[in-house]
């Protein structure tokens, strides 16, 4: 591991993150906790980074196996090393590959992704960080195509996007007969703008659900909703 790489300790596992790649973010942790409530069976995490979301899925669902794809070799190695040290190592598989050319033998019951989303944005100096944040490495349309190709007939998917990029993703989904059935708008506080949107869907169109979650309240304390979702993972929240 790189000397200045950070270690994020959760209740049941720890992850080295950053250098190369992005560091773990609060909204990614929130998304992982929420997505874990939906995961089942054979799972796929597209763009796993350090392996955060895959690890959360594995902790929450003892019957799940998770294949975690990462395009950048150095970042894929970080995920692989994290998985080797995980209590869920027998159900976590880091794969260095581009999802656009990934050709597994079986399709997936659940697919999740915290994908890159920047467009027309200045390049990051670090190659791994650039690949993690720029949509030219996985556009919303390409992610939609990949989900359609890899999802089982009855499967479900979940993504984390900024609101404006999610709208582009949804347009591409509809061309494939896929639908978003739930939106959760993430705000840092009740008076802050939308930070990200967690969305889930399937091949079936149902009456959509829309809600909001605030990471912290006006007093700067973690909200009850955030606390309950992250309680199984964050050390600061007693069980």
Sketch the domain layout of the chain as residue ranges: 6-171
Annotation: CATH topology of 6-171: Rossmann fold (3.40.50)
pLDDT of residue 207: 92
Task: Give pLDDT, residue 18.
Answer: 77
Give pLDDT tens digits along the chain (239 positions).
444 568 999 999 999 987 667 789 999 999 999 999 999 999 999 999 999 999 999 999 999 999 999 999 999 999 999 999 999 999 999 999 999 999 999 999 999 999 974 444 444 444 444 344 434 568 999 999 999 999 999 999 999 999 999 999 999 998 899 999 999 999 999 999 999 999 999 999 899 999 999 999 999 999 999 999 999 999 999 98
Whole-model pTM: value is 0.90
Contact 199, 112 (CB under 8 A): no
pLDDT of residue 170: 95
Round to whole Å and give the CA distance between 57 and 94. Answer: 14
Q: Tell me, what's the pLDDT at 177? A: 95
Return phi, psi of residue 29, to 5°.
-65, -45
DSSP secondary structure of the chain: --TT-EEEE-SS-EEEE-SSSPPP-HHHHHHHHHHHTT--SEEEEES-TTTHHHHHHHHH-TT-EEEEEESSHHHHHHHHHHHHTSTTGGGEEEEES-GGG---SS-EEEEEE----B-S-PPPSSHHHHHHHBGGGS-HHHHHHHHHHHEEEEEEEEEEE-HHHHHHHHHHHHTTT-EEEEEEEEESSTTSPEEEEEEEEESS----EEEEEESB-TTSPBPHHHHHHHTTT-TTS--
pLDDT at 122: 42
Residue 7, classed as helix, strand or coil, is strand
Q: Are 59 and 232 in contact (CB under 8 A)?
A: yes
What is the per-residue pLDDT for 131?
43
Residues 92 and 83: beta-carbon distance below 8 Å:
yes
């Amino acid at each position: 591991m790189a000397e200045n790489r950070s270690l994020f300790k959760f209740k049941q596992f720890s992850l080295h993150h950053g250098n190369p790649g992005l560091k773990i973010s609060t909204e990614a942790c929130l998304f992982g906790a929420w997505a874990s409530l939906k995961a089942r069976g054979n799972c796929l995490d597209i763009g796993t980074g350090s392996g955060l979301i895959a690890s959360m899925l594995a902790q929450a669902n003892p019957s799940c196996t998770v294949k975690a794809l990462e395009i950048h070799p150095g970042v894929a190695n970080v995920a692989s090393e994290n998985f080797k040290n995980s209590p869920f190592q027998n159900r976590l598989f880091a794969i260095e590959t581009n999802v656009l050319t990934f050709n597994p033998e079986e399709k997936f019951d659940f697919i999740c992704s915290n994908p890159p989303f920047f467009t027309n944005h200045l390049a990051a100096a670090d190659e791994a960080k650039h690949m993690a944040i720029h949509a030219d490495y996985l556009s919303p349309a390409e992610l939609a195509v990949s989900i359609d190709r890899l999802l089982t007939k009855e499967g479900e998917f979940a993504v984390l996007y900024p609101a404006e990029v999610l709208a582009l993703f949804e347009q591409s989904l509809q061309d494939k007969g896929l639908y978003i059935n739930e939106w959760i708008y993430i705000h840092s506080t009740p008076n802050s703008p939308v930070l990200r949107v967690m969305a889930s869907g399937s091949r079936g169109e149902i009456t959509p659900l829309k809600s909001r979650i605030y990471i912290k309240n006006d007093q700067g304390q973690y909200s009850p909703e955030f606390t309950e979702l992250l309680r199984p993972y964050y050390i600061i929240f007693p069980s």
